[in-house]
Amino acid sequence: MTISAERPTAVASSATPPTASGIPWTQRPGWMSQHLGTAIVGGFLGYILGHWFGNYISSSYPWIANSGQNPIAVTLALLGMVLGWLVGIGALNYPLAKIVGKEPPAEVEVEGWSKYFRYSTNHKVVGLQYVVGVILFMFTGGLLAMAIRTELLNPTTHVFGPGTYIEIVSEHGTIMMMMATSIIVGPLGNYLVPLMIGSRQMAFPRIEAFSFWIFMAGYMVIFSALPYGGFNTGWTGYAPLQTQNGPGMISYLFGFAVIGLGMMAAGFNIAVSIINYRAPGMTWSRVPIFVWSILATASLLTLATPVLFSAGLFGILDKTVQTAFYVDEHGGSSYLWQNLFWFFGHPEVYIMALPGFGIVAEILPVFTRKPLFAYKVAASGMIGVALLSFFVWQHHLFQSGINPDMRPLFMLTTELISIPTGFIFLVGMGTLYRAKIRFEIPMLFAMALFFNFLIGGVTGVFLSDVPVNVTVHGGFFVLSHFHYTIMGGLLFAFMAGLYYWLPKMTGMMMNKKIGLVHFWMMFVFFNLTFFPMFIIGLLGQPRRVFTYASNLQGLNDFSSISAFLLGISFIVFAWNLVYSMWISPQKAPANPWESLGLEWQTATPVPAHNFDRIPVIMTDPYHYSEVNAPALADFGGPAPVASDTSSTSNPA
């Protein structure tokens, strides 16, 4: 079942292209000024009112009021903060006006840099807002990682106490996982998907903007755990530790629920857009491979995230109104949390990995000047990975004590998922075979992904085997595998995508010399940081413990120093952004990489209406180095069409 509507009839072009609401961009009516400042004020007031109301409610229950902590007040304070934040930014203007029976005024399309601090329904603005948002997540989580490695410089001399250390570890893991779920889908998916499918916008622009601003609300919620005393469960939040934790645990549960809501909205919107908003002639065999990866990811976001949302809601109810979903002694089950969490958690791994594969597969043909090898195999592999990811979650529970008869089944499914993953890997190798490679910065990051992901994938096969898993579970071997798979894959792919598409998104080229320094520092020190952790783990060092055997100090010091230098590489990247965008900007050519992709066939930077004429797709975008290759699209088709942004009709 797909969500669609009748496509409107094309109308003649005008000098000023109409917006999705049918009103020219230069003639849109005004609306009350709402921006980041009012969102912050609204969030603060919502927090205060929510906390007061929570204290008022709980005053009737002495067992809460006298407990020294008030979970109801904390929960309502966080809920009030999120609602106040959304009201302050203007995300609820449209639905609230509809609820009271009024026709909402059209949103303002503000020009200039201030539009990035407002609630915008322009998919390109949302994409760039996500770029800044995920970089904020990344740098914050990275600072916490530096604190972890500082503590591990010495096994006996401690910077933090054991309680503070585990809270830092938990906050780091949670922030990074929340960021990673949207690191590619948010910035590059929102910005590029409409361009790559020949559409003027996403299917539901207001939902698209909502997904970003609630994503940032989740960031604030999870950091509110620190003044509440943090939580000591690690990023997985296992019960019964979950039920024993203080109010900081509510920030964790509520933060995941808020992020989950944004992920569901983003996944649904992207899936509907790709299915229904493709340009004429863009059959499924002509869809860019990056769009295939985003579609597979959107299906996981839409289907897996509601489980995480429900799991967080159950945990909040246990903490506030004394239900017992995860409380064993009251009839619940701590296994329930583990199953719900990992039923989402393992698809989440591919929510992070699949868009990275898509970026690399999109970049390789450009810099090898070869068609993408086995395009249909790559697309099938992505769909296969998405499907099988729902059948492997219990390999995280091999040591939990749950029914051991289930172990062979989940060992089998875990090993089976390596087959479609291997398809994608071999597509990359086939594209590189006998290619004349242009070693530009995006290509270097793309090739680094294959190196890193190979190490992560091979060690993952070991972990799928029950005897090995039981031996190394809970140690640094698993931690290193995970970082090679996610950070070594996802983060390197994200950097490849930024260096490749930022010239299109901003109109400015990134500085190549600084980019080379960034790449080599990041690649070398990433491997020097995490490869020794395989050895540390095999020698018996457990995760989340701030002391360790003295004979492991040398390896830990080497890993920590490498981690600090890895952190400096991100400062180099930040400097490259500042230098290239503001200090010494270099205007980007319309198509600096000579790509055949549809997104490069528009002006740079992209105009508000994307395309002057709706393209009619003639072939796929991978006919590199082919004699008499057909043109990708015919841009002499019908002019853009006016349609209401609240409808599901294709504006193309």
pLDDT digits over 198-256, tens only?
999 999 999 999 999 999 999 999 999 988 889 999 999 999 899 889 899 999 999 99
Dihedral angle, C-alpha 555, 558, 560, 563, nearest 10 °: -130
Angle between helices 375-388 and 289-320 (to 10 degrees): 10
Helices 407-416 + 441-464 axis angle, to 10: 160
Lowest average pLDDT, out of 23-32, 399-408, 577-586, goes to 23-32
**pLDDT of 641 strictly over 70:** no
Range scoring the smallest mean pLDDT among 264-273, 431-440, 623-632 = 623-632
In a domain, 68, yes or no: no
Query: Is position 289 within any domain?
Result: yes
Give percent of the chain above pLDDT 90. 69
Find the mean pLDDT for residues 496-513: 95
CATH number of the domain where residue 238 is located: 1.20.210.10
- 13 in a structural domain: no
User: What number of other Cβ atoms are within 10 A of residue 471's Cβ?
Assistant: 14
Q: 496: which 2 tokens?
A: 């490849």
Evaluate whether residue 412 is within a structural domain. Answer: yes
| Residue found under tokens 């989340």 | 544
- pTM over 0.85, yes/no: yes
Amino acid at 325: F
For residue 235, is it within any domain?
yes
Give me the residues paired with residue 49 across strands. Answer: none
Residue-wise pLDDT tens digits, 116-148: 999 999 999 999 999 999 999 999 999 999 999
Q: Using H for helix, E for strand and C for coil, what is the string for 324-351?
A: CCCCHHHCCCHHHHHHHHHHHHHHHHHH
The confidence score (pLDDT) of residue 229 equals: 87
How much is the average pLDDT of 402-431? 91
The pLDDT, as a whole number, for residue 179 is: 86
Residue 263 pLDDT:
94
For residue 513 the two structure tokens come to: 């010399």
Q: Which residues partner with 633 through β-bridges? A: 617
Residue 145 lies in a domain: yes
Q: What percent of the chain has pLDDT over 70?
A: 90
**549-582: b or e for each residue (b if 16 or more CB lie within 10 Å)?**
eeebeebbeebbebbebbbebbebbeebbeebbe
Q: pLDDT per residue over 79-116, tens digit each?
A: 999 999 999 999 999 988 888 888 877 766 777 788 89
The one-letter amino acid code at 187 reads: P
- Report the number of distinct structural domains present in the chain: 1
Residue 335 burial (C-beta neighbours within 10 Å; 0-12, 13-18, 19+): middle
Residue 105's pLDDT is 73
Is residue 315 very low, low, confident or very high in pLDDT (cuts 50, 70, 90)? very high
Please, what is the average pLDDT of the chain? 88
| Whether the predicted pLDDT of 160 surpasses 50 | yes
Residue 68 confidence (pLDDT) above 90: no
Q: Mean pLDDT over residues 328-333, rounded? A: 90
In a domain, 505, yes or no: yes
Is the pLDDT confidence value at 7 over 90?
A: no
**Cα–Cα distance list, 466 to 339, 404, 614 (Å):** 18, 10, 54
Q: What mean pLDDT comes out for the span 338-348?
A: 92
Q: Is the pLDDT of residue 19 over 80?
A: no
Residue 1: predicted pLDDT:
36
Residue pair 191/606 in contact (Cβ under 8 Å)? The answer is: no
Give the relative orientation of helices 492-506 and 190-197 as an angle to the nearest 10 degrees.
70
In a domain, 119, yes or no: no
User: Residue 642: its pLDDT value, please?
Assistant: 43
Domain interval for residue 184: 127-583
pLDDT of residue 15: 38
